Structure 1
Amino acid sequence: MQIRQTTLRDIPAIQSLIQPYLVDFVVDESGLAHFSEQVVTDFINHPEVHSFVAEQSQQILGVIAYREPAHLLHFFVDQRHQSQGIGRQLWQWAEQHALQQPIQEFTVNSSCAAQDVYRRFGFATTKDVTEAHGLRFIPMKKTYPLTQ
């Protein structure tokens, strides 16, 4: 498996990978719009968004994207390939990438189903379940010690 920067040709595979998860956190059409082809394209092209895919034999197994300085936007692993360490490798890749700049925290709006995964990565819940912009999520963050 390799992790590489996302390209525009990955968009159909990314959308297929995300589709089964939408029921976990999308509450209406405005939420669904956050995962349109245009939004994914905009993420890939945005200079402050860093997006990576895990790929094996030209198959996308997972995707992770964060906005600078450190807010996780997308993090999905193909359901057929879960519990194989792909998510952990993607998270460690993105975290190390973000840590090239001084950051004090990494934030994420976790789906209710993914909360335990983020806890294992060192995140803590910051608020109760929230609904906004057509999405249901739990705000979480991971803090980093200040370096001198």
Structure 2
Amino acid sequence: MEIRPLVNADIPAVSALLRGLAKEYIVHESSPDGAASFLAENDEMGVRGFLARGHVYHVALVDGELAGFVAVRDRSHVFHLFVDKRWHRRGIARRLWEAARDAAVAEGGEGSFTVNSSNYAVPVYEAFGFVRVAPMQCVKGLYFNPMRYPAPDGD
């Protein structure tokens, strides 16, 4: 497996993977308007916009094929982390997270991160050392669990 920074040629595959997995693991719990809004904001143009705003993406490739990707905003917020279902439970999400974390710290990040996790991904983030910092939220019709890494002092 290779993990490397995203290049423009990766964007169509990243967008397709994101939208397919979002339909199954994220927006199925959302309002129809929330689902439509999320999917519209996360198409190819959306990914290009996130890149233009400074989000840093890494991709995982297995035999040259996209297996997953991660994006971090502001060196402190895990914005996207998706792994193709064929590659679940093989450590790819962890390796993507570690690559993104290390890159953010190398670029001046403090090493603390937040994520708005789907219900499905909470156990994955907990395995990485994230903890919930608030009850499940709903914003613009999308449900998520605010989490933080490392655990806040006293937790």
TM-score by length of structure 2 reads 0.85
1:2 aligns with 2:2: yes
Structure 1: distance between partners of 2:41 and 2:147: 19
Cα deviation for residue 112 of structure 1 reads 0.3
Q: CA RMSD in A?
A: 1.8
| 1-structure distance, mates of 2:7, 2:111 | 29
Structure 1 counterpart SS, 2:3: strand
What is residue 25 of structure 2 aligned with on the other side? Answer: 24
Please list every run of at least 4 consecutive aligned residues from structure 1 whose deviation after the TM superposition is greater than 6 angstroms. Answer: none
* Superposition deviation, residue 16 in structure 1: 2.4
- Matches of residues 1-148 of structure 1 in structure 2 within 5 Å? 1-18=1-18, 19-26=20-27, 27=30, 28=34, 29-46=36-53, 48-100=54-106, 101-103=108-110, 105-143=112-150
CA contact (8 A) 1:32 1:134 kept: no
Could you tell me which runs of 5 or more consecutive residues in structure 2 were left unpaired when the two chains were aligned: none
**Contact 2:76/2:109 (8 A) holds in 1:** no
Of the structure 1 ranges 103-112 and 10-19, higher mean CA displacement relative to structure 2 is found in 10-19
**Distance between the aligned counterparts of 2:141 and 2:5, measured in 1?**
28
Number of aligned residue pairs: 144
Question: Partners in 1 of 2:44 and 2:83 — Cα distance?
Answer: 18
The code of the aligned residue for 2:2 comes to: Q
Instruction: Report the Cα distance in structure 2 between the residues aligned to 1:32 and 1:39, rounded to whole angstroms.
Output: 9
Deviates more, 1:8-17 or 1:78-87: 8-17
Distance 2:11 2:103 in 1: 22
